[in-house]
């Protein structure tokens, strides 16, 4: 990586030369709320000394839809479509987390085939979401849309599979309390087989294109570094936490839907910088394909939806269920007072909480580095604001 | 599999450091609000509990009091503990901030402040997060937008489940616009006759 380091040093030298002027005043720059680098309606207010970030403050709420209040007026089943809209790039994972919380509250056992289908779609969603995350991250690093659209081809095929199964591509509303809404259509498994056959070559192509890329190294190596201790103390989760070397994955630590039956590894990074987050996501896609292979080979027969009364009234109590969504630890905390609707509906949003350390990651770097750091955290504004 | 950490064991750890700061009710650990930050710090630093990761922080409006709910997780020992604290003052609810213990509490406490109006003393940057300054009221409180007829917020029954539970609640004013599927209000339907002027 000598060339990349040289490029980096040359860039640092230029920046230092630009910022050593005396008598300069800090400049406040607004990124957003509508700005390509902020991945949605998210506003970042940075204070700059020359090119160096002194302070970064985020302003959110532009997409606040008050879902937690709305959910208190709707039955447990009626709330499932809301969870699609929380994180619209990982609707399946959000459906799943909410249904797990509701099932815990209602004491429902899910049939084995439903569990296998849930794992299948959660992992397909991870492939699609990581394709989006890595593609836009490389975009933020300066690659003008080429890798993004390479990865979008894979995402497109996943969304086609969603469409043939549940009729929707983005807001799927596929999981139900007690299972999934529909059985797999006949054409899904051949399509999935073809997808699993094609993906290793595609990933090898991306790796050949990107992993040794000098510009990507110069832009992402050593940028937005966070230590494992700080990451844990800041409640970071998902690829952002694992890039620091902490092997914390809820699929291993607290298996749900039968994840304990599948063989897969938890990829971790070493340095906790933006490049490691990218590498962790690339490696996670491979692990997801491994899980998908095992799901397809061991798909059980039987019902795909448990016998759940339409008018389900859980006993008074509470439940907190978590899944490993593509962005991290996604939890739903439900409180029941015995009524038909949740008394309290709370979503633990990984996108919001992963931003806890954004300021610490950005300070001391350049403005362009702050944008790369924000891209590497992989936020979805719908989930931040809810 | 993540196990539930025993609330009684956690209570002993806390009470050894600050007597009377913790108690267990129905298997749930309740902390005294005034001792909250110190007690949670003890739970984080103790080698037995090792609750280094703040998984979730939220509040529930129990109408007579606010209940703060914390989910604390140990990554090495793989157990989770639910901790609660009660705030009884509804006019000016306040309790100590956990930002000194967990950096991850910053944004979650701001969210609770924004939507419940609970102040966290010692929070370095306690401002509204989703809503703008000057927004009237705190939406996730149960008495937000008090409806006429003393109708409680929430869903009283499944639509058309039974006559008693059907929407709207008998004897009350409906709290949302009438929907065509809603039961029609009693009384004669007034139909304008042909030729009559409608004002």
CA distance B3 to chain A (A): 9
CATH number for the domain that contains residue A201:
1.10.645.10
Determine the structural domain holding residue B36 and report its residue range. Answer: 3-145
Q: Which residues pair with A31 in a beta bridge?
A: A44
One-character DSSP codes across chain B? -PEEPPHHHHHHHHHHHSTTSEEEETTEEEE-GGGHHHHHHHHHH-TTT---EEEEEEEEE-SSSEEEEEEEEETTTTEEEEEEEEE--SSS-EEE-STTT-TTHHHHHHHHHHHH--EEET-TT---SSSPTT-SS-TTSTTTTPPGGGPPSS--S-TTS-TTTSSSPTTS--SS---TTSPPPSSPPP-PPTTPPP-
Residues ≥6 apart with Cβ < 8 Å to A35? none
In chain A, which residue's Cα lies nearest the Cα of B127? Answer: A59
Residue A26 sits in the same domain as residue A132: no
* Lowest pLDDT segment from A54-63, A208-217, A257-266, B180-189: B180-189
Mean pLDDT for B139-155 is: 67
Q: What is the DSSP string of A149-178?
A: HHHHHHHHHHHHHHHHHHS-SSS---EETT
Considering only CB atoms, which chain B residues are within 8 Å of A68?
Answer: 115, 140
pLDDT at B198 over 60: no
Of A232, A333, A339, the CB nearest to B75: A232
Q: Give yes or no for residue B168 having a pLDDT over 50.
A: no
Determine whether the interchain pair B60/A234 forms a contact, defined as Cβ–Cβ distance below 8 Å. no
Inside any domain, residue B60: yes
Name the pLDDT band for A99 (thresholds 50, 70, 90).
Answer: very high
Tell me, yes or no, whether B124 lies in a domain. Answer: yes
What's the pLDDT score for residue B170? 43
- Indicate whether A90 and A201 sit together in one domain: yes
How far is Cα B38 from Cα A386, in angstroms, rounded to an integer?
32
Q: Give a yes or no: residue B162 inside a domain.
A: no
Per-residue confidence (pLDDT) for residue A16, from 0 to 100: 64
- Which pairs from B30-34 meet CB under 8 Å and 24+ separation? B30/B83, B30/B84, B30/B85, B30/B86, B31/B83, B31/B84, B31/B85, B32/B85, B33/B85, B33/B86, B33/B87, B33/B95, B33/B96, B34/B96
Which pLDDT value is given to residue B4? 84
The question of ipTM being above 0.85 is answered as no
* CA–CA separation, B18 and B96 (whole Å): 16
Strands (E), chain A: 27-31, 34-35, 40-41, 43-49, 52-59, 175-176, 179-180, 317-325, 328-336, 344-348
Looking at A38, A59, A80, the residue that finishes a domain is A59
pLDDT tens per residue across span B39-68: 899 988 888 888 999 999 999 988 888 999
Please report, for chain A, how many H helices and E strands are present, in that order.
16, 10
Going by pLDDT thresholds of 50, 70 and 90, the confidence category of residue B190 is low
Kindly report the CA angle at A64 between B85 and A45, in degrees rounded to 5? 95
10 Å CB burial of residue A190 (0-12, 13-18, 19+) is exposed
Amino acid A292: pLDDT: 92
Answer yes or no: do A74 and A49 share one domain: no
Secondary structure (3-state) at A260: helix
Residue at B157 is within a domain:
no
Task: Point out the domain boundary residue: A59, A87, A102.
Answer: A59
The partner residue sitting opposite A339, judged by closest CB among B69, B105, B154, is B154
Which two three-digit tokens encode residue B31?
Answer: 């902390």
Judged by CB atoms closer than 8 Å, whether chains meet at B78 and A253 is answered as yes
Average pLDDT along chain A: 87
Would B185 be classed as within a structural domain?
no
For residues A148 and A310, the model is more confident at A148
CA angle A46, A48, A49 (to 5 degrees): 165
User: Quick one: tokens of A182?
Assistant: 């529909």
Closest partner residue to A61 (CB to CB) among B58, B131, B154 is: B131
Contact B154 A341 (CB under 8 A): yes
Could you tell me the CA-to-CA distances from A353 to A96, A238, A327, B69 in Å, in that order?
A: 20, 11, 10, 16
Last residue of a domain, one of A33, A59, A85: A59
The nearest CA of chain B is from the CA of A10 a distance in Å of 35
Q: Tokens at residue B167, please?
A: 């929407």
Is the same domain home to A169 and A239?
yes
* Closest-approach residue (CA) in chain A for B155: A73
Q: Which residues of B151-189 are buried (b: 16+ CB within 10 A; e: fewer)?
A: bebbbbbbeeeeeebbbbbeeeebbeeeeeeeeeeeeee
Residue A361 neighbours by CB distance under 10 Å: 29
Read off the pLDDT of each residue in A139-156 and give the average, rounded to a whole number: 86
pLDDT for the residue numbered A332: 93
Look up residue A221 and give its two tokens: 């190596």
Looking at chain A, the whole-number percentage of residues with pLDDT higher than 90 is: 38
| Better pLDDT: A9 or B21 | B21
Task: Say yes or no for a CB contact (<8 Å) between B156 and A339.
Answer: yes
Query: Which pairing describes strands A175-176 and A179-180: parallel, antiparallel, or unpaired?
Result: antiparallel
Residues A90 and A200 occupy one common structural domain: yes
CA angle A159, A201, A93 (to 5 degrees): 30
- Position of tokens 């799927």? A172
Partner residue facing B104 (CB), from A61, A233, A344:
A233
Q: Do A77 and A29 share a structural domain?
A: no
Which pLDDT band, with edges at 50, 70 and 90, does A22 fall under? Answer: low
Residue showing tokens 């059985």: A183
Position A111 pLDDT exceeds 50: yes
pLDDT the model gives residue A72: 86
pLDDT of residue A329: 92
Q: Name the band, by pLDDT with cuts 50, 70 and 90, for residue B182.
A: low
- Could you count the other beta carbons within 10 Å of the beta carbon of residue A164? 14
pLDDT band for position A221 (50/70/90)?
confident
Chain A residues touching residue B168 (CB < 8 angstroms): none
Distance from CA of B57 to the nearest CA of A (A): 8
Domain at B36, CATH number: 3.30.460.80
Q: Could you tell me if A136 and A197 lie in one domain?
A: yes
Domains: count for chain B: 1
pLDDT over threshold 90, residue A126:
yes
pLDDT of residue A333: 94
Shortest Cα distance from A178 to chain B (angstroms)?
19
Distance CA B75, CA B47 (A): 12
Range of the domain at A44: 2-59
User: Of A115-119, A192-196, A358-362, B166-170, which range is least confident?
Assistant: B166-170
What is the tens place of the pLDDT at every residue in A250-307? 999 999 988 989 999 999 988 889 999 999 999 999 999 999 999 999 999 888 888 8
What is the domain count for chain A? 2
CA distance A346 to A68: 6
pLDDT digits (tens, 9 = 90+) for B31-44: 888 888 888 999 88
% of chain A at pLDDT higher than 70: 93
Measure the CA–CA gap between A97 and A79, rounded to whole angstroms. Answer: 12
Same domain for A277 and A200: yes
- Judgement on whether residues A81 and A34 belong to the same structural domain of the protein: no
* SS3 readout for B104-148: CHHHHHHHHHHHHCCEEECCCCCCCCCCCCCCCCCCCCCCCCCCH
Q: Is A222 left (phi over 0), alpha (psi -120 to 50) or beta?
A: left
Q: What is the pLDDT of residue A113?
A: 92
Give the closest of B58, B131, B153 to A346, CB-based: B58
Q: Which residues pair with A332 in a beta bridge?
A: A321, A347
Contacts of B75 (CB under 8 A, 6+ apart): A232, A246, A248, A253, B52, B53
Which of A248, A331, A335 lies nearest to residue B75, judging by beta carbons? A248
Optimal mutation site among A41, A63, A229, A233, interface B, most CBs of chain B within 10 A = A233
A339: pLDDT confidence band, cut at 50, 70 and 90? Answer: confident
Q: Are A313 and A340 in contact (CB under 8 A)?
A: yes
Q: Are residues A296 and A276 in the same domain?
A: yes
Handedness of CA B126, B127, B129, B134 (dihedral sign): positive
Find the radius of gyration of the CA atoms of chain B.
24
- Domain assignment of residue B125, yes or no: yes
Do A204 and A224 lie in one domain? The reply is: yes
Q: What is the pLDDT of residues A235-255, one digit of tens each?
A: 999 999 999 999 999 999 999
A117 Cα to chain B: minimum distance (Å): 21
What residues contact A156, with CB distance under 8 A and at least 6 apart?
Answer: none
- Per-residue confidence band for A33, with pLDDT thresholds at 50, 70 and 90: confident
Please indicate, yes or no, whether residues A10 and A151 belong to a single structural domain of this protein: no
Average pLDDT, chain B: 79
Alpha-carbon gap, residue A101 to A81, rounded angstroms: 15
B140·A69 Cβ contact <8 A: yes
Closest chain A C-alpha to B89 CA, distance in angstroms: 20
State the Cα–Cα distance between residues A380 and A350, nearest whole angstrom. 9
């Amino acid at each position: 990586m000598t060339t990349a380091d040289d490029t980096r040093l040359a860039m640092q030298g230029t920046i230092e030369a630009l910022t050593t002027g005396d008598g300069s005043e800090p400049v406040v720059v607004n990124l957003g709320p509508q700005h390509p680098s902020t991945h949605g309606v998210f506003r970042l207010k940075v204070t700059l000394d020359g090119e160096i970030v002194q302070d970064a403050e985020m302003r959110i709420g532009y997409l606040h839809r008050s879902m937690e209040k709305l959910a208190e007026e709707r039955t447990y089943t009626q709330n499932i479509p809301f969870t699609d809209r929380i994180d619209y790039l990982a609707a399946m994972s959000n459906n799943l987390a909410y249904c797990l919380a509701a099932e815990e509250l209602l004491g429902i056992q899910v049939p084995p085939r439903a569990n296998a289908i849930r794992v299948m779609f959660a992992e397909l969603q991870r492939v699609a979401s990581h394709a989006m995350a890595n593609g836009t991250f490389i975009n933020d690093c300066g690659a003008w849309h080429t890798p993004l659209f390479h990865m979008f081809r894979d995402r497109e095929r996943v969304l086609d599979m969603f469409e043939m199964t549940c009729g929707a591509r983005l807001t799927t509303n596929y999981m139900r309390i007690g299972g999934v809404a529909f059985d797999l259509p006949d054409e899904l498994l051949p399509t999935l087989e073809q997808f699993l056959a094609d993906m290793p070559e595609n990933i090898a192509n991306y790796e050949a294109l990107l992993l040794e890329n000098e510009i990507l190294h110069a832009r992402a190596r050593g940028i937005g570094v966070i230590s494992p201790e700080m990451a844990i103390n800041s409640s970071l989760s998902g690829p952002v936490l694992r890039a620091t070397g902490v092997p914390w994955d809820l699929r291993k630590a607290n298996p749900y839907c039968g994840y304990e039956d599948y063989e897969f590894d938890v990829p971790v990074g070493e340095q906790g910088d933006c490049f490691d987050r990218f590498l962790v996501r690339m490696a996670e896609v491979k692990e997801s394909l491994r899980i998908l292979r095992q799901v397809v080979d061991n798909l059980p027969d039987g019902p795909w939806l448990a016998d759940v009364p339409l008018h389900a009234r859980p006993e008074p109590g509470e439940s907190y269920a978590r899944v490993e969504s593509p962005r991290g630890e996604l939890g739903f905390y439900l409180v029941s007072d015995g009524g038909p609707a949740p008394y309290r509906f709370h979503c633990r949003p990984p996108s919001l909480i992963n931003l806890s350390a954004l300021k610490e990651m950005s300070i001391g770097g350049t403005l362009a580095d702050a944008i790369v750091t924000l891209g590497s955290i992989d936020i979805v504004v719908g989930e931040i604001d809810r | 599999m993540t196990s539930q950490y025993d609330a009684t064991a956690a209570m002993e750890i806390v009470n050894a450091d600050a007597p009377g700061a913790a108690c267990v009710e129905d298997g749930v650990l309740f902390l005294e609000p005034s001792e909250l930050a110190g007690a949670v710090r003890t739970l984080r630093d103790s080698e037995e509990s090792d609750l280094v990761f703040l998984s979730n922080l939220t509040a529930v409006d129990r109408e007579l009091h606010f209940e703060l709910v914390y989910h604390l997780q140990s990554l090495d020992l793989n157990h989770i503990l639910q901790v609660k604290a009660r705030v009884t003052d509804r006019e000016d609810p306040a309790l100590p901030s956990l930002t000194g213990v967990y950096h991850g509490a910053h944004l979650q406490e701001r969210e609770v402040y924004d939507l419940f109006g609970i102040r966290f003393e010692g929070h370095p940057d306690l401002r509204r997060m989703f809503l703008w300054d000057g927004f009237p009221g705190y939406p996730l409180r149960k008495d937000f937008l008090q409806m006429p007829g003393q109708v409680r917020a929430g869903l009283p029954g499944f639509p058309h489940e039974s006559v008693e539970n059907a929407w709207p609640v008998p004897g009350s004013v409906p709290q949302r616009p009438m929907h065509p599927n809603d039961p029609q209000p009693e009384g004669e339907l007034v139909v304008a006759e042909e030729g009559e002027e409608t004002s």
